[in-house]
Amino acid sequence: MALMITDECINCDVCEPECPNEAISLGPEIYVIDPHKCTECVGHFDQPQCVQVCPVACIPGNPAWVEDRETLMQKYRRLTGAAAQPQAEPPADPA
């Protein structure tokens, strides 16, 4: 699922530069996460970097954007242009 920033955000500016997908931007009052760009850092890191650096723990999952890991990986590939993992080809039949 994509993440979101709650109104507990103190606008400390540490999350925005940590996002590898540039999904975080300053909204009218607090930082916001674009759910179309947020992959929870799947494809980049093991853990969401914004969550790791947030000093007030105001970045939970967004219940309006429930996505499994495979969906997040597909979004990562779309955003980065990364090719899908190649399928293993069956061994050639020796003739």
- How big, in percent rounded to 5, are the helix, strand and coil portions of the chain? 20, 10, 70
pTM above 0.85, yes or no: no
**CATH number of the domain bearing residue 25:** 3.30.70.20
pLDDT band at 88 (very low <50, low <70, confident <90, very high): very low
Work out the average pLDDT over 28-40.
97
The residue among 6, 77, 75 whose CA lies nearest residue 36 is 75
| Per-residue pLDDT at 47 | 96
Percentage of residues in the chain having pLDDT higher than 70:
86
More confident residue, 38 or 88: 38
Tally of domains within the chain: 1
Residue 91 lies in a domain: no
| Per-residue pLDDT at 23 | 97
Name the average pLDDT for the chain: 90
H helical segments located in the chain: 49-53, 69-80
Residue 57 lies in a domain: yes
pLDDT band at 6 (very low <50, low <70, confident <90, very high): very high
Is the model's pLDDT at 90 over the cut of 80?
no
The residue range of the domain holding 41 is 16-80
